[in-house]
Structure 1
Amino acid sequence: MSGLAYGWRWLRSLLFNGLIYAAMLPIGLAYTPWAIRSRDGAVAAAHLWCRFVVWLARVLVGLRCEVRGTPPTGEVMIAAKHQSFLDIILIYGAVPRGRFIMKKELVYTPVLGQIALRMGCVPVDRGRRGAAMKQMMAEVRAGRADPGQLIIYPQGTRVLPGVDAPYKTGTAAIYRELGQPCVPVACNVGLFWPRRGVLRRPGTAIIEFLPEIPPGLPPSAFMKQLEAVIEPRSNALMAEAGFPLSVKEA
């Protein structure tokens, strides 16, 4: 790629990044009255923003987004490969009632913190995730909160394509506490939307919902099965996009 072409792509990526973050505030403000009355308003605002990001990525930087498999609609835990902010956007946009575990401090972010709460996100203090899960389940059973899809990331952080990172045992604790099926998700999005930097690359970013893992497995068996389905499928999606994999990874 010539220097001119690279510079033009970088500028379009910079504009894209600025526009998607700038759009959060007006969308949040526009939907706040509805969100105050009903959780549906907060969910609709978040889904609108996700659709805007997907549309703008295609139009401005040539990045198409594809969702494969069957997104769950019932009360499940979603355990996903995490490569960049884009997998968060695509997963949330594909399910009807997604929610995340969020740092309690984010609740105090103007507009966005309140929208997140109304979406059903679970604010937690560091080290008190188990108590937060019990409270969330109690509120659902009592009818004070809507059931939905809890989205978590078993590796705990964004992982570069092709890099091995351990799956954290806290995922098994949440799985046991919820007593729900777990839907694994594979992706290749980090090839096009890196975890750091401005540049967004053209291509087809994919997330894929995989067959669910039933509830009730022993923690070790659950973790082994989860990693055994997410990692090979994510590698296959990356290979499909042209990312070179070693014989061991493939």
Structure 2
Amino acid sequence: MLTALQYLRSVIFTVLIYIWMLILGIVFLPWAIMAKEGARRACKVYARSVLRVMPWGLGIRPEIRGLVPTDEVVIAAKHQSFLDILMIFDAVPHPKFIMKRELLWTPIIGLYAKRLGCVPVDRGKKGAAIAKMVQDVAAEFSEPGQLIIYPQGTRVAPDAKANYKVGSAVLYGNLGYPCVPAATNVGLFWPRKGLMRRPGLAVVEFLDPIPPGVARDEFLITLEHAVETRSSALVAEGRGQ
């Protein structure tokens, strides 16, 4: 009975947040077209409102841990579901995401992503995609911001494994900024697939920065160890609730 009720709450919540996305997208559209700040403000309002309603709507309590980066950095984050996107976007002041190119054609999301300066990547072209990504990032960083990249390239369930791709190391090396790893356990409560949402404490944690200048192979080893070790600890914590 409780599971059925939670599923019903999950469905209703999901429908409502997409309706809310549409409403905000339309209301903020004139400002977003005229200025990037309008697009950023719309997305901030959306992320914050979803996160504030979520505890009583679903029983999921979002928590940010660690020192939130506010300078120009690369944030290399574990990606488990849409929830970690919302939490990171709400937490940092000027977020810009590396995103798959297909999202550009998504209503509302695609338009606002363009205005925010998010960088689309064609994941099927590998080397050419990385070169284009570096070029596009250099153009977008004419304005300060925090560049968020998911080094595994996709959403990964809490117990699944996926390789860390070279793109995050290339960006880190070319930009010359510190890299802030970010761990999470949100996939326990808001899975990457399906409508069921489960109550609990969903955490995104910003870890100690990796300073500029670390060699590519060493960087990838350091990044993977930091993110995977801490994410596993957060998942264990989440399961122990």
Aligned residues: 237
Contact kept, 8 Å, 2:58 with 2:197, in 1: the verdict is yes
When structure 1 is superposed on structure 2, of 159-168 and 119-128 the one drifting more is 119-128
Q: Does the CA contact (< 8 Å) of 1:16 and 1:56 recur in 2?
A: no
Aligned-pair RMSD on alpha carbons?
1.8
- Once residues 31 and 7 of structure 2 are traced to their aligned partners in structure 1, the CA distance between those partners, rounded to angstroms, is 37
Residue among 188, 201, 206 paired with 1:204: 201
| CA positional deviation for 1:147 | 1.8
Deviation at 1:139, TM superposition (A): 5.0
Aligned equivalents of 1:123, 1:129: Cα separation in 2: 11
- The 3-state SS of whatever aligns with 2:228 is helix
Deviations 1:131-167 (A, max 9, x none): 2322431453xxxx42211111111121111223221
TM-score by length of 2: 0.92
Residues 184 and 205, structure 2, Cα contact 8 Å, conserved in 1 = yes
Q: In the superposition, relative to structure 1, how do residues 59 and 27 fare at CA in structure 2: closer, same or farther (>3 Å)?
A: same
Aligned to 2:237: 240
Counterparts of 1:160 and 1:224, CA distance in 2? 21
Alignment of 1:20-169 (within 5 A): 20-126=17-123, 127=125, 128-140=129-141, 145-169=142-166
| Aligned partners of 1:78 and 1:152 also within 8 Å | yes
Shift of residue 120, structure 1, vs aligned partner = 1.2
Which residue does the alignment assign to 1:247?
none
Pair member with larger Rg: 1
Distance of 1:146 and 1:243 partners within structure 2: 42
Report matched runs for 1:176-191 at 5 Å.
176-191=173-188
Q: Cα–Cα, structure 1 residues 232 and 7, in superposed 2: closer, same or farther, change >3 Å?
A: same
Q: Relative to structure 1, is the Cα distance of residues 213 and 104 closer, same or farther in structure 2, using a 3 angstrom cutoff?
A: same
In structure 1, runs of 5+ residues without a counterpart are 245-250
State the secondary structure of the residue aligned to 1:208.
strand
Q: In the superposition, relative to structure 1, how do residues 42 and 159 fare at CA in structure 2: closer, same or farther (>3 Å)?
A: same
Q: Is the partner of 1:161 in helix, strand or coil?
A: coil
Q: Which runs of 5+ in 2 are unaligned?
A: none
TM value normalised by structure 1: 0.88
